[in-house]
Structure 1
Amino acid sequence: MGRIVRSVRRLGDPVMFMGAWGTALLIALFVLYPVFRVLAYPSATDFLAVLDHPRWLRAIVNTLVMTTLSTVTACLLGFVFALALTRPDLPGKGLFRTISILPLFSPPFAVAFSYLLLFGRLGLITHTVFHLRVDILGWRGLWLSQTISFFPIATLAISRVLENIPPSIEFVARNLGADEVSVFRTVTAPLARPGVAAAMLLVALYVLADFGNPLVIGGDFPILATEAWYQIEGWADQRAAAMLASLLLVPAALLFLLERRWVGRRLYTTILGRGARGERGPTPRGLRVFLVAFCSLVAIFVGLIYAGIVIGSLTRVWGADWHPTLRHWAEAVKRWPHVQNSLVVSGGAGVMAACLGFVTAYVARGRAVAGGAILGAGAVMPAAIPGVFLGIGYLLAFNGPPIPLAGTIWILILALSFWNLPFAYKTTAAGFRQIDRALEEAASNLGATWLRVLTDVYLPLLKRTAWVAFIATFVNSVTNLSITMFLVTARDVVATVSILALVSDNRLGAGAALTTLLLALTFAALALSFRWMGPDVLVA
């Protein structure tokens, strides 16, 4: 009876009606419309023209090959790291846990830029220390950069699966005489297989959409994301760029749908009686030594990212004059307005994404209104859209009437907020599911409107969730390159675009200084969140 009363009141609540349809209109305008513009812009003849361009054909093949290679190696690293993080007696586990998430909060090109400084033709390690003539530009450098950039995603996904495997099952297998290899082969691996497969699909989606790493370290190794950018930057050919971005959307959408379907159907829970879960036993000595050695090696490669960038910011002329200097920091300070633009855009995107995610999650919750499920599907749709595709979509959709946003800071805020909407929506929806509906029903029975229920009941209970959505969007936006590259103007340049311009002009020291400044601000924001909300905000 209470549910019927609540539904009738919702249908008669004009604020609820406006909230639902207003959210639907925003998603249609700023998600579906840009997608439609990109897909409709090139003709069938434009798609057939791919066959006449060997470089574009190479870009398609290279994109698929790199997606496969980088996904496999990133997931291998992620699996070993996850295995280490789930061992209770592994020394240095806290350090390894921190190392495993650091690349997630760095600019998308930070890994490639640092490895270029360390292992390039004038690299500190290859050229100066070992006197090697090594050129890391190309697919090898891109493979290394993408592996280090995206293995944290696999680590987070796989570690959750491994943590849910009851230690008692492994304990029983050992009591029956199985050695560690047999336990891993017959117990751990089969139970973890669904989670590993889902992690591979998720990592593949990130690798496929990667823009920063190939732009910095890819050299003359074409992939679809960078080729789409070159068509706009070099040739001002928006039609060709839209066509190449559309080719990128097809495998991205397929991977997204497969990942959603797999996660939704992966019922691999082990059913045990109360108290049967048990505690994990001590890690065998050989396995412990291997995990510590492996994770330490990966930690060194991750640490080199930040060491290389900081050293580069303090070196007079990279590869020629290693004397310390602060002149690159003077250049970085001159570009402080670009950092300010990043903070304003990212802050605005964070607030907008958190608010939209909050309202959408409530409206779509339990089919609060007709079409709630469709609204929820629209909110997660941007997760399947590569940043390059969305950037081109906003460029085509809002470059003139009826909504001329191009050249304003609002186009950046809107693009970044809707690109991050899936995380904000899913995080808030998960928070709503943890709250008993009886609270809402009680407020509704007392005459509270939809807006009053939202602000007086749910908002205080979901304040932490809203902050997680904000800080995640803020960090993702302040380090974004794939969208901002297509939408900035000379008046509203953001820090990531400014850094890439410095690197392209071979002003590596200034680029390193500005990157260090951006990293410091990002980690400061995360540290404040850690202090206020606790450590789990970093991996929420």
Structure 2
Amino acid sequence: MSATVAERPSVDAPRPEDGQQPRAGSMVWSSARRRAGVWALLLVVAYLVGMPLIRLQGLAFDDGAGGYDRALATVGLGELIWRTVYLAFGSMVVAMVLGTLLAYAASRLPDRAGFLRSVPIVPIVLPAIAMVVGWAFLLSPGPGYLNAALRKLPWWDHLESGPVDVYSLPWIVIITGFGLTSFIYLFVSAGMANISADHLEAAHVAGSSGAGVFFKVVLPLLRPSLIYGAGVGLLLGLGQFTAPLLLGTNKGIRVLTTQMYFSTSQFPVDYAAAAALGSPLLIFGVLIVIAQKIGIGDQTRFVTHGGKGAVRRQRPSRWAAVFIAVYGLVAVVLPMSGLLVVALSPYWSSSVDPSSFTFANFRTALDSRNIVESIVTSLVASITAVAIVLPLGYAISTVLLRRRGMPIARTLLDFLVALPLGIPAVIFGAGFLLTYSEPPVVLYGTRWVIILVYVTLMLPFATRMMTNGMLALGTSYQEASWVSGASRLRTHLVIMLPLLRGSIGGAVALIFVLLTHEFSASMLVRSPTTQVMGTVVYDFWSNGAYPTVAAVSIIMTAVTGAGVVAAMSIGGRDVLSKL
């Protein structure tokens, strides 16, 4: 029962004004201006996205591809690639299993527990570096709080450390998987909305158990969402940087992204080898995108209802509420509790002494000039990037939704905007470092290099959310405005922008959240005088100032939460549902 969707009218249709057809000369002039504007927009995006990548690969091929020669000579290169693939696939599997089960559980929540649907989204709002540090405080072999509690059990009371080692590769994979689960949950939840409860009820009536319905009906119908989610999860897993850097460095566990970072930050600095090391990630990204297209095929085969009115809710289950609550406890409450305990303690040890709790670490953090400046830089860079990328994403969406004219420009623009989703942020960071640390444009050491890399990384998110909002509105409002004699600019300012308030608020929330705790690219483009909150946390972590690390991590979380509240004031209370 596939839904039939009527073709939308073109937004480029001629618009009569005051009942009169426009003059041929004015139409030609208007069309020429639009074409010039589209090509100018394409050049801006091409420079932002393409120049750093071209600069990076150009450096790798200099001197007879010397960068590739040195990259291939890297000690343990095969092990490096294997760990990267292991991390990507392992974390993707963890995220796919948890995200799919959470989405299914969310679809069966009782009315009184409906608020739990937002629990799986919370890890997106929390800074990744804060979550990783929180898990380290819980599961470090010696002083980890959870390990200390586990050693009191009869099975492990003979151990002096462990039994869990958070600095091992399997646990790096598990923690990374927890971080990716929210993204998979969002994709699968959208797919669950297309499954009619009638099909599930029919399976129950036919005698199938709950598990049978899930595996024989739900999972096959979720195939497009699962394939797309797996592709995105795999891409994100390949580009993981935070957990491998913070947890794997002490034991020499490196992946391609961390090796790239060390190639650019340790003596002797070798940018060319770093650029070459990033090439496998680019190749993997292209292959995953192709596999997605082949695997999904015709998506209309997986639609089981013709509209929202045909959807009925599934049978509620108390176990669904229990499962989501337990996930929230493990994935959110536990690591944040570890952070809070260390932040309130004078030092990090395996014992918790509430009588010694103090706010001195917070005062130390807020009295530190470097930390305060990093907070200011994070806020200024994030807010400025949001102010730039939103109108840029709006303009790109307007061009991409046109049905007539300039197919080459639209195809190129669509491809360029999608690139930052498939290429790890650390590669863009290295590319921006090389591009803007030499003439003709030298921005290294200023906030502008951070702002530009933030704008580039957020282009896909801003464009996608704006595009979804415009598609939901259709073209009738624009056409009515044009018939009334309004210009295109007035139509967008007076009609479209107010109607897109929810999408704009959701875009602001998502982009601000992602940028305030962006870490991978920031580590590459930072300078001694220009730091953001995440890079400062890493410096204190490297120096062993763990209570300060915990305090700054909680401050990061508070700043991000304040940004979400501000976005909700713009886009309404349902902003989180748009993330």
TM-score by length of 1: 0.91
**8 Å contact kept, 2:109–2:321:** no
Aligned equivalents of 2:536, 2:294: Cα separation in 1: 39
Are 1:3 and 2:35 an aligned pair?
A: no
Cα deviation, residue 472, structure 1: 1.7
5 Å matches for 1:193-272? 193-219=223-249, 220-235=252-267, 236-259=269-292, 265-267=298-300, 268-271=302-305
**8 Å contact kept, 1:349–1:414:** yes
Cα deviation, residue 343, structure 1: 0.2
**8 Å contact kept, 2:107–2:313:** no
Q: Give, as a single letter, the amino acid of the residue that structure 2 aligns with 1:183.
A: V
**8 Å contact kept, 1:367–1:373:** no
Stretches of structure 2 lacking an aligned partner (at least 5 in a row): 1-9, 17-21, 153-159
**Matching residue within 34, 56, 60 for 2:52:** 34
Cα deviation, residue 33, structure 1: 1.0
**8 Å contact kept, 1:38–1:246:** no
Structure-1 residue corresponding to 2:7: none
Are 1:119 and 2:119 an aligned pair?
A: no
Structure-1 residue corresponding to 2:79: 58
Cα deviation, residue 15, structure 1: 5.4
**8 Å contact kept, 1:84–1:93:** no
CA change 1:122–1:56 in 2 (3 A) is: same
**Matching residue within 319, 329, 333 for 2:362:** 329
**8 Å contact kept, 1:161–1:192:** yes
Q: Give, as a single letter, the amino acid of the residue that structure 1 aligns with 2:257.
A: A
Cα deviation, residue 242, structure 1: 0.9
Aligned equivalents of 1:375, 1:520: Cα separation in 2: 36
**8 Å contact kept, 2:365–2:552:** yes
Cα deviation, residue 5, structure 1: 5.9
> Tell me, what secondary structure is at the counterpart of 1:41?
helix
Q: Give, as a single letter, the amino acid of the residue that structure 1 aligns with 2:210.
A: E
Structure-1 residue corresponding to 2:3: none
**Matching residue within 161, 165, 171 for 1:133:** 161
Stretches of structure 1 lacking an aligned partner (at least 5 in a row): none
Aligned equivalents of 1:341, 1:105: Cα separation in 2: 19
| Equivalenced residues, count | 534
Aligned equivalents of 2:440, 2:487: Cα separation in 1: 35
Structure-2 residue corresponding to 1:340: 376
Are 1:475 and 2:513 an aligned pair?
A: yes
Cα deviation, residue 441, structure 1: 4.0
Aligned equivalents of 1:356, 1:200: Cα separation in 2: 29
Are 1:75 and 2:96 an aligned pair?
A: yes
Structure-2 residue corresponding to 1:190: 220
Q: Give, as a single letter, the amino acid of the residue that structure 2 aligns with 1:280.
A: Q
Once structures 1 and 2 are overlaid, which stretch shifts more, 407-416 or 320-329?
320-329
5 Å matches for 1:420-499? 420-444=458-482, 448-499=486-537
Q: Give, as a single letter, the amino acid of the residue that structure 1 aligns with 2:397.
A: A
Q: Give, as a single letter, the amino acid of the residue that structure 1 aligns with 2:501.
A: K
Aligned equivalents of 2:413, 2:308: Cα separation in 1: 39
Q: Give, as a single letter, the amino acid of the residue that structure 2 aligns with 1:117.
A: F
Structure-2 residue corresponding to 1:391: 429
Structure-1 residue corresponding to 2:328: 299
CA change 1:65–1:10 in 2 (3 A) is: farther
**8 Å contact kept, 1:71–1:147:** yes
Are 1:377 and 2:406 an aligned pair?
A: no
CA change 1:523–1:264 in 2 (3 A) is: farther
Aligned equivalents of 2:544, 2:437: Cα separation in 1: 32
5 Å matches for 1:505-524? 505-524=543-562
Aligned equivalents of 1:17, 1:156: Cα separation in 2: 36
TM-score by length of 2: 0.86
Once structures 1 and 2 are overlaid, which stretch shifts more, 29-38 or 186-195?
186-195
CA change 1:278–1:514 in 2 (3 A) is: closer
CA change 1:159–1:437 in 2 (3 A) is: closer
Aligned equivalents of 1:485, 1:107: Cα separation in 2: 15
CA change 1:364–1:261 in 2 (3 A) is: farther
Aligned equivalents of 1:203, 1:142: Cα separation in 2: 15
5 Å matches for 1:86-125? 86-89=107-110, 92-95=113-116, 97-120=117-140, 121-125=142-146
Aligned equivalents of 2:487, 2:322: Cα separation in 1: 59
CA change 1:262–1:426 in 2 (3 A) is: farther
Q: Give, as a single letter, the amino acid of the residue that structure 1 aligns with 2:303.
A: T
Aligned equivalents of 1:21, 1:167: Cα separation in 2: 47
**8 Å contact kept, 2:109–2:316:** yes
**8 Å contact kept, 2:137–2:145:** yes
1:356-375 Cα shifts (integer Å, max 9, x gaps): 00111112321465223322
> What is the alpha-carbon root mean square deviation over aligned residues?
2.7
Q: Give, as a single letter, the amino acid of the residue that structure 2 aligns with 1:23.
A: L
CA change 1:182–1:324 in 2 (3 A) is: closer
**Matching residue within 60, 65, 68 for 1:47:** 68
1:323-362 Cα shifts (integer Å, max 9, x gaps): 2222211221022121011000000011111010011111
**8 Å contact kept, 1:20–1:369:** no
> Tell me, what secondary structure is at the counterpart of 2:76?
helix
Aligned equivalents of 1:500, 1:202: Cα separation in 2: 26
Cα deviation, residue 211, structure 1: 1.0
Aligned equivalents of 1:273, 1:395: Cα separation in 2: 48
CA change 1:186–1:465 in 2 (3 A) is: closer
Structure-2 residue corresponding to 1:171: 201
